A and B are shown apart, each in its own frame.
Chain A
Amino acid sequence: MRATTRTGAAVCRAVNEAASQKIKTQSRWSLKNIVKDFKRHKVKYLMLTPVIVYFILFCYAPMYGAIIAFKDYSPLKGIWGSNWVGLSHFFDFFTSTYFRRVVGNTFIISLCDVIWGFPAPILLALLLNEIRGSAFKRIVQTASYMPHFISLVVVCGIIKNFVVTDGLFNDIVAFFGGTRVSMLQKPEMFRTIFVSTNIWQQIGWDSIIYVAALTGIDRQLYEAASIDGASRFKQTFYVTLPSLVPTIVVLLILRLGQILNVGFEKIILLYNESIYDTADVISSFVYRRGLQELDWSFSTAVGLFNSAVNCVFLIGANRATKMVSGLSLW
């Protein structure tokens, strides 16, 4: 088969590689090959240069700062002048009374967020695609991403208003005969509230990229499919979804590569001590530590720990998607 797009080419290659033994020539990275490669792709490397310079200047240059995770950083002594403490901040964190709890909560909330929150925008994009009237479609789409612009403080204010004993959600519960409950004081309800309000706020905005991807689908593919007798539903499954897969793969892998990053702002705005058991996450825990004393070393150490775990998930997700779909980030 001949691939028509670069994504197609990637799938082809993956198949070929799996089929035949990978005959890795050790000389692939030989000096001769490197020079040849530069000569052959001269312009490409030239075009790449500003990008490399950007990352070096703005990302790699300050990276040495991460070393304060191993030091007892004091702004007065500076980064190099501060005392070396090795892994003590890490041990501090691992042996903390709340370590298991906050790490566990972070994982659980994040996984729930991925399981429910990742497919939701895709679903919305697909459903939007099915709307016939273009005016109605535009209105719904515009409406759907509006919550994204409301600041978290206001959104959480609205949420709190709804979950109190005499709030809207409890009114609905009471209407259906249930008992009123102060929802943000029940540890078991926090996850649901957090994740579902995340979806509410972000579903529209996150769907934009999928909507855009959907417009790039060749109409003729649909025509061919319907000629073959496929129903709308089957068309969605066999034409629409597959063309979204490259985008989905990239975004999913990247999302899993952020697994421990549960943003503290929303947590802090919604939680209280009675639900720390399920609501206290790594970032909120570190934040409270920082209120006592701006402990940059500790938060950097925890950040490195987060990054390490995130990285593992990134690599794992990449490998998994490669096995399942042949596509991956690298």
Chain B
Amino acid sequence: MKRSIAKVFPLFGIVLMLSACVSQTTQDASKNKDSLDAKYPLQTSQTLTIWDKSQVNPAYTSYTEQPYYQELEKRTGIKAEYRFPTGDLHRESFNLMIASGELPDIINYDWLILPGGPEKYVKEGYIVCINEALEKYAPNLTGYLLENPDIDRMVKTDGGDYYCFPTLRGDETLNVYQGPIVRSDWLDELGLSTPETMDDWYAMLKAFKEKKGASAPLSYVNQYAFEGGFLAGSFGTKLGFYQQSGVIHYGPYEPQWKDFLVTLRRWYKEGLIDADIATIDSKMLASRITSGKTGAVLGSGGNIGQWLPTLLSYEPSSSLIGVPYPVLNRGETPMFSQLDNSYVFGGAAITSQCKNIELAARYLDYGYSEQGRMYHNFGIEGVSYNLVDDYPKYSDAILGANDFMSEATKYINTEMSIQDPRMYEQRLKYPQQKEAILAWVKSDAVKYLIPPIIPTEEESGEMTRMINDIDTAVREYLLKFVFGNESEATFDDYIKGLERDGIKRVLELKQASLDRYNYR
């Protein structure tokens, strides 16, 4: 009975969702007889109000002093009044704003990951469907979506509606930023080549322990280590959901998970993994890798940039490199890696209280034009960057700053536009960082990545409790097994426990979301 409903439901859902998008802009267009000329800067005295999730650059008391906003107003010709949530309480601020019912014209927020999804907010009348607005007033975004149909699918609802001007990553290399990192100077010293297989890793870690005296040869922050399939991927599994030929799987529910746990336990027992692995946080990890207690970690490109200065300060010949995710047999491609979708959070939505949708749409569309994209990513030519052989090179002030982003965000904004990989490249100070990304990107993760599916409110509500219990059970069992407090004999009980917690139902529900997504 449940199964058939789940199959029928997506179709019901689509019908319901299609009806959510009432034609908004026709009503609106009739109000504004004098439509605006589509050239920036627009000639208008009308203003917009925006609630934006991001922050004011701390060097300025108010956003009105920040060059990015000043210049944006000049370029679009539209004066916008911004409001930002204070500190990191944006979730609460957002909810309070919704609850109070006083909405600005535009809200830039994580629509995709809000409980109930963006459709809820459209249905309840908080934000509007922008299908027509995009068609009529946003040629730049529309153009980009036409050229990139897979992205187009991501930013729509299951019903096929658009709800925001999305923040997008313009290149695959922007989606991978985490992977295994190793002390390459140790590899050289020990005569080891870059590890590729699990056996390579075993030998390398043993050598680190015995010959370099590393007390914790491999270390990582246990919280998120296996979500990208590090180590687990070599057995064909990872800590999380993935899809294979359109079918949703949950790594820790698969039989391969046992093989992974057994290996992990063996490594732990032999002292190859940090004894305090469950206690380690990012700060302790940094201390371990930079003091030589650890030789291999799971980290990000950014981490390399943070750790190298410390390492180099007392061991000038040291180096950290990113190595590929390990596989079981030589020559195989890693099945997984950490990988984000190009559309992860959300973007700028136009609210139902916006009186001039055309103005809002045109204002937001600027960020997707050629000019706008350059502006969002690099800022003002001659001030924050210069074109050197057609390559936008940041100013010395920005490149030389202690903290790149602090300096750069005076002029740039990574949201409500398409992120340019050339911005990211220049953020990375060390060549090892760029090479690390290249090493990590070599995987099949794209095949198994679940696209940004949206569960319905009912599905979400049903899943919350189950997912929480399942996640807890999985993580507890993993550590207990690795520490030797559980044996293979209890693995079946563990699986049965997951079934009791509802893993099958969760898979069903997620499958429904995925089916609806593929139908878009």
Contacts and interface: CB of A to CB of B under 8 A. Distances in A.
Establish whether A and B are touching in the complex (CB under 8 Å). Answer: yes
Contact of A288 (B275, B461, B468): B468
A104 B322 CA distance: 45
Interface in B468-499: 468-469, 471-473, 475-476, 478-480, 483
Given A74-B116, A273-B476, A165 B469 contact: no
Interface string A248-290: 0000000000000000000000001111100000000000110
A75 B120 CA distance: 11
A326 interface: no
A163 B279 contact: yes
A274 B480 contact: yes
A228 interface: no
B281 interface: yes
Given A97-B469, A157-B283, A289-B468, A76 B278 contact: no
Nearest to B457: A74
Nearest to B223: A272
B281 A160 contact: yes
Contact of B99 (A78, A163, A164): A78
Contacts of A165: 275-276
B143 to A, nearest CB: 33
Contact of A76 (B120, B464, B473): B120
Nearest to B479: A274
Contact of A292 (B278, B468, B478): B468
B215 to A, nearest CB: 7
Give the interface centre of B275, B276, B460, B472 by most chain A CB atoms within 10 Å: B276
B279 A293 contact: no
A275 B277 CA distance: 13
Contacts of A295: 115, 464
A177 B467 CA distance: 45
Nearest to B126: A76
Contacts of A16: none
A75 B115 CA distance: 11
Interface string A203-217: 000000000000000
B99 A294 contact: no
Contacts of B270: none
Interface string A121-140: 00000000000000000000
B279 A98 contact: no
Contact of B469 (A98, A164, A272): A98
Interface string A71-85: 010111110000000
A182 B278 CA distance: 9
A274 B475 CA distance: 8
B267 interface: no
Contacts of A292: 463-464, 467-468
A289 B471 CA distance: 11
B19 interface: no
Nearest to B460: A293
A17 interface: no
Contacts of B461: 72, 293
Interface in A46-73: 72
Contacts of B126: 76
Contacts of B501: 97
A275 B473 CA distance: 12
A93 to B, nearest CB: 9
A188 interface: no
Contacts of A272: 222, 278-279, 479
B59 interface: no
Contacts of B471: 288
Given A185-B279, A273-B278, A76 B121 contact: yes
B150 to A, nearest CB: 27
B496 to A, nearest CB: 13
Interface string A149-176: 0000000010011011110000000000
Nearest to A276: B476
A185 B284 contact: no
Give the interface centre of A77, A98, A272 by most chain B CB atoms within 10 Å: A272
A157 B286 CA distance: 13
A27 B278 CA distance: 66
A302 interface: no
A264 to B, nearest CB: 15
Given A165-B275, A182-B276, A185-B279, A294 B478 contact: no
Nearest to A277: B476
Contacts of B116: 74, 76
A20 interface: no
B279 A75 contact: no
B115 A293 contact: yes
B472 A276 contact: yes
Contacts of A289: 464-465, 468
B98 interface: yes
Interface string A181-215: 01011000000000000000000000000000000
A120 B59 CA distance: 46
Interface in B83-122: 91, 95, 98-99, 115-116, 120-121
A110 B453 CA distance: 42
B188 interface: no
Interface in A282-316: 288-289, 292-295
A160 B460 CA distance: 36
B403 interface: no
Interface in B145-194: none
Contact of A182 (B279, B283, B473, B475): B279
Contacts of A293: 115, 460-461, 464
Nearest to B120: A76
Interface of A: 72, 74-78, 92, 96-98, 157, 160-161, 163-166, 182, 184-185, 272-276, 288-289, 292-295
Interface of B: 91, 95, 98-99, 115-116, 120-121, 124, 126, 215, 222, 275-276, 278-279, 281, 283-284, 293, 457, 460-461, 463-465, 467-469, 471-473, 475-476, 478-480, 483, 500-501
19 contacts: A75-B95, A76-B126, A97-B500, A157-B283, A164-B276, A182-B279, A184-B278, A185-B278, A273-B222, A274-B476, A275-B278, A288-B471, A289-B464, A289-B465, A292-B467, A292-B468, A293-B460, A293-B464, A295-B464
Given A96-B465, A165-B276, A272-B222, 20 more contacts: A76-B116, A77-B124, A96-B469, A97-B473, A97-B501, A160-B279, A160-B281, A164-B275, A164-B279, A166-B215, A166-B293, A184-B278, A273-B222, A273-B472, A273-B476, A274-B278, A276-B472, A293-B460, A293-B461, A294-B115
The 5 closest A-B pairs by CB, nearest first: A274-B479, A273-B475, A293-B115, A272-B278, A76-B124
